[in-house]
Structure 1
Amino acid sequence: RTLLDHGTNSNKTKSNNNSNSYHRQWKQDLGRANVIVNVADGIVSHVTLLSDKGDTNKDNVPKSMGANNEKEEDEEEKKIDEELYEMLEILKRCKDEEGEDSVEEIQCRGNILSPGFIDIQLNGAFGVDFSNPNITQNDIIKNVSSRLPQHGVTSFCPTIISSSFDTYCKILPLIGPLCQCCEKEKDQGRNNDDNIIGANILGLHLEGPFFAISKKGAHSEEHIHDPTAATTTTTEDHQDHTAMKDTYGISMSSPKKNDGIVIVTLAPERPGAISLIKELSNQNVVVAMGHTDATLAEGIEGVTSGATLITHLFNAMNPFHHREPGMLGMLMLDDDDGSDGNDEIHNSVSTNKNENGPVTSDRNISKHRPYFSLIVDGIHSHPSAVKLAHRLHPNGCVLVTDAMSAMGLGDGTHTLGTMKVDIKGNRATVSGTNTLAGSVVSMDSCVKSYRKFTKCSVGEAIRAATLHPAKVLGIDNRKGRICAGYDADLTLLGVDELDVMGTWVGGKKEFDNISSAVCFGGSKKRKVEV
């Protein structure tokens, strides 16, 4: 039950009566809850919770699989029979309404039905580099979108690293039209175009080039500059528009909805960054802080101005220090009033680096801690660091892969933008250096590792890859949950190891390994043919 944000809707959504209409039902027994999920035209029409018996820990097997006495066993047997009858009645009504051939029932065999995973930072995969100006739409759809569902991913944000003006001008118009779900006002549900396969592209993540050179990581220094570097105007409000146009070749007032841009990562301490943060947030573009030399106070000013996310926490930023907490200190702000008792630090805005502490001012701070993304591959951050971040802000973690084109290809030399990257095992480094250059990890692996490193519940691990990224993007009204009216983006996970068994995008099956699913064990087993 904790794995689902379930909802009910007595007024079932009617699907169109045509050859393309279909219903699917996902049925699961979590040991404490029987759930049936109805899908019509790519949308969850309603979710029925048939029993509510407490926690879903797999160690707590249902009483019907080992009751303490015959009386309890009989009572549980009766309850199961009643629930099974209700399930069959729901299925029968669906078949009566839609026709026998248009209804498909999928048995989940006691495994975990999760919302589809959302990766908001993916530089490339399976040989495709999103920062390569020579890529094609076919490369993205056939080689990346179609293969991500095998890792449980149903939506993602192609991420472009710091690049030249010409490269942005080629890539943004190419990928922008593929971003079918980036507009909040867009109709819910999956486009029925048969040419669209695999995971949805939610929008572009522009990682750079407004960075601190000292924290450039694998980004090319020649492309890094400040938001004001390219502008020739002196009006602060106009600098934002000019910086976007002169850097990316787009106008923030463009009728093209910013060419599909949904996230921009920048360093908040750079000249012109604060005014750009305000402008981007006003345009509903998520601003993330990363590749930064910012102090805690400068990070607070970024959040106050509209930034809501920290990009790959711990990496490409200053480490925690007891006199200057840096970006990690943002995780210790309180959600209710923005104060943890140290108002002197929280009310500070630093304009100069000061080894003895921050420079203070009277600026108010945000009332909410930012979300933070984590690359949980066992390489970018030590398991103890991951556990620390989870303990500080358990509802703020957003799992990302930050994967590059070598994901899924194995060892060798590959590219990330204009850089050569060496892959050995699970480690990606800029050729000839020890500098990490993204990862080659998959999202399902991140979920498993996050659960292992933090000792969190399965539900918490899943939310870090589903609900939390949906909230960051402001699309948690249609993605990130299994609820009536939400997109039918679903991932079936093995109950023990969280292996991906099946993935559906908008109700359409994109990956199927259900035959390997393992049922709950126990002293009693029943097989029901429907």
Structure 2
Amino acid sequence: MSLTLADARIATPEGVHDGWLTIEDGRITHVGHGPAPRAGHSLAGRLVVPGFVDIHNHGGAGGSFPAGQQDKARDAVALHESHGTTTMVASLVTGTIEDIAAATASLADLCEEGILAGIHFEGPYISKARCGAHNPKLLREPDPKEFGELVKAGRGHVRMLTIAAELPGALDTIRAASAEGVIAALGHSDATYEQTIAGIDAGASVATHLYNALPPLGHRAPGPIAALLEDERVTVELINDGVHVHPAMLRLAYAVAGPGRTALITDAMAATGMGDGTYVLGSMQVDVSNGVARLAEGGSIAGSTLTMDVAFRRAVQQVGLSIAEAVEISSLTPARVLGVADQVGSIAVGKVADLVVLNDSLEVAGVMKRGDWITEP
């Protein structure tokens, strides 16, 4: 079956142009300039961008990935798909090893169905001093053997591990992750600049939600933020909801890391798409007020209620990035992190037809996944 999308503004790696594209059997077969050579589905001048890729997401629509409930996880995925996220990693939080393993095994089924793009362990190998919304009673020192057992529970679908580089056993666990093909991300850490560099040298290549749950920049003790920003081996995650990171600090990170090393994430939790109220993240109770999620006890920020379309729109309208720059950091760069940029993350011939149609206000007007409309414009 062939479908032509005509009368569109198309965001490709070469820039934004007026044109058309054709989809056959779920893949992009032609990308053209100007009027389409045949009649097609007119998009009336609306913008087409690649489907968003979210590499750090705890849930939505009332469902929390750490709970491992497949029906609730499907609801969460559907909610985020409706907001343009067509590739998503399910992030867990600190829990008992048994609970993490059980959730991992359950979510691995959804990975095998192609619903999820992988599983991310955020915890339990993180710093008590920077644990944020994680249960400090369940934190553990990194253990490569124990980590290996968790990876086995994921049946090849564990994609990322967040770890604090300063903890005993961390460097060996980072090396073990690399050997298993798992991305090691540094975060929830109280490490020095030097300890962070040691983690990168051991194989870590991502900064988990840069700025958040890390010591602030210091001019004499630069800490992990400076190390993560300046090292060309590291991609930095940023939560662009206007709560976690001030736009000026996002601009600063982008000025240093550029589009090739900056990845927007949501860090979304169960309340996303649901409204204010009381929710659970792992073993922790979370109160959501005015869309901001905080621990009921202590008040630490506990994930977000962000969706990727809002992060994209804010990148253009509040941060000041171009459409092309916002596309790269919300789609192509995170796809590169996951190693799937040959399939998704940009609009190009041969790639999967994961597309988002946006109106003039950069609001979602349509979403396509693998050539099928989730929401038809």
CA distance in structure 1 between the aligned counterparts of 2:27 and 2:66, rounded to whole angstroms: 33
CA distance in structure 2 between the aligned counterparts of 1:145 and 1:291, rounded to whole angstroms: 25
Is the aligned partner of 1:391 residue 2:255? yes
Counterpart secondary structure, 2:348: coil
Asked whether the 8 Å contact 1:377–1:445 carries over to 2, the reply is yes
CA distance in structure 1 between the aligned counterparts of 2:5 and 2:197, rounded to whole angstroms: 44
CA distance in structure 2 between the aligned counterparts of 1:34 and 1:383, rounded to whole angstroms: 30
Q: CA deviation at 1:166?
A: 2.2
CA distance in structure 2 between the aligned counterparts of 1:488 and 1:507, rounded to whole angstroms: 5
Q: Which amino acid aligns with 2:196?
A: G
In structure 1, the partner of 2:162 is 265
> Runs of 4+ in structure 1 displaced over 4 angstroms?
none
Counterpart secondary structure, 1:138: helix
Q: CA deviation at 1:152?
A: 1.0
Residue correspondence of structure 1 range 25-40 to structure 2 within 5 A: 25-30=4-9, 33-40=17-24
* Residues 417-461 of structure 1: CA deviation (Å, up to 9, x unaligned): 111111100211100322111111111111111223321111111
Flag the structure with higher strand content: 2
In structure 2, the partner of 1:69 is none
Percent identity of equivalent pairs: 30
CA distance in structure 1 between the aligned counterparts of 2:147 and 2:55, rounded to whole angstroms: 23
Structure 2: give runs of 5+ residues left out of the alignment.
11-15
Asked whether the 8 Å contact 1:412–1:423 carries over to 2, the reply is yes
In structure 1, the partner of 2:174 is 277
Q: CA deviation at 1:139?
A: 2.3
Name which of structure 1's ranges 462-471 and 274-283 shifts more when overlaid on structure 2. 274-283
Is the aligned partner of 1:420 residue 2:324? no
In structure 1, the partner of 2:76 is 144
Is the aligned partner of 1:241 residue 2:173? no
Q: CA deviation at 1:490?
A: 0.5
Asked whether the 8 Å contact 1:331–1:389 carries over to 2, the reply is no
CA distance in structure 1 between the aligned counterparts of 2:223 and 2:42, rounded to whole angstroms: 49
Q: CA deviation at 1:331?
A: 5.0
Quick one: which of 129, 133, 140 aligns to 2:64?
129
Residue correspondence of structure 1 range 54-453 to structure 2 within 5 A: 83-84=34-35, 87-88=36-37, 91=38, 105-133=40-68, 135=69, 137-141=70-74, 143-180=75-112, 200-228=115-143, 240-245=144-149, 248=150, 250-251=151-152, 257-258=155-156, 260-333=157-230, 368-395=232-259, 396-453=261-318
Q: Which amino acid aligns with 2:279?
A: H
Q: CA deviation at 1:279?
A: 1.8
Asked whether the 8 Å contact 2:8–2:42 carries over to 1, the reply is no
In structure 2, the partner of 1:47 is 31
CA distance in structure 2 between the aligned counterparts of 1:212 and 1:433, rounded to whole angstroms: 17
Name which of structure 1's ranges 261-270 and 387-396 shifts more when overlaid on structure 2. 387-396
Q: Which amino acid aligns with 1:430?
A: L
Q: CA deviation at 1:147?
A: 2.3
Counterpart secondary structure, 2:255: helix
CA RMSD of aligned residues (A): 1.9
* Residues 88-142 of structure 1: CA deviation (Å, up to 9, x unaligned): 3xx37xxxxxxxxxxxx32121111110001111111010011125x2x22222x
Q: CA deviation at 1:332?
A: 4.9
Change (3 A) 1:280 1:423: same
CA distance in structure 2 between the aligned counterparts of 1:180 and 1:27, rounded to whole angstroms: 34
* Residues 492-526 of structure 1: CA deviation (Å, up to 9, x unaligned): 112x32101100000010113x2xxxxxxxxxxxx
CA distance in structure 1 between the aligned counterparts of 2:23 and 2:112, rounded to whole angstroms: 20
Q: Which amino acid aligns with 2:131?
A: K
Counterpart secondary structure, 2:188: coil
Q: Which amino acid aligns with 2:238?
A: L
Q: Which amino acid aligns with 1:30?
A: R
Q: Which amino acid aligns with 2:220?
A: R
CA distance in structure 2 between the aligned counterparts of 1:280 and 1:379, rounded to whole angstroms: 31
Change (3 A) 1:446 1:332: closer
Quick one: which of 368, 372, 376 aligns to 1:508?
372
Q: Which amino acid aligns with 1:439?
A: S
CA distance in structure 2 between the aligned counterparts of 1:215 and 1:28, rounded to whole angstroms: 50
Q: Which amino acid aligns with 2:188?
A: H
Quick one: which of 314, 332, 336 aligns to 1:467?
332
CA distance in structure 2 between the aligned counterparts of 1:332 and 1:122, rounded to whole angstroms: 22
Counterpart secondary structure, 2:374: strand
Asked whether the 8 Å contact 1:428–1:440 carries over to 2, the reply is yes
CA distance in structure 1 between the aligned counterparts of 2:238 and 2:218, rounded to whole angstroms: 20
Q: CA deviation at 1:403?
A: 0.9
CA distance in structure 1 between the aligned counterparts of 2:124 and 2:145, rounded to whole angstroms: 15
In structure 2, the partner of 1:80 is none
Asked whether the 8 Å contact 1:330–1:369 carries over to 2, the reply is no
Q: Which amino acid aligns with 2:58?
A: N
TM-score between the two structures when normalised by the length of structure 2: 0.93
CA distance in structure 1 between the aligned counterparts of 2:282 and 2:319, rounded to whole angstroms: 33
Counterpart secondary structure, 2:318: helix
Q: CA deviation at 1:30?
A: 3.4
In structure 1, the partner of 2:2 is 23
Q: Which amino acid aligns with 1:213?
A: K
Q: How many residues align?
A: 371
Asked whether the 8 Å contact 2:266–2:311 carries over to 1, the reply is yes
Asked whether the 8 Å contact 1:387–1:453 carries over to 2, the reply is no
TM-score between the two structures when normalised by the length of structure 1: 0.67
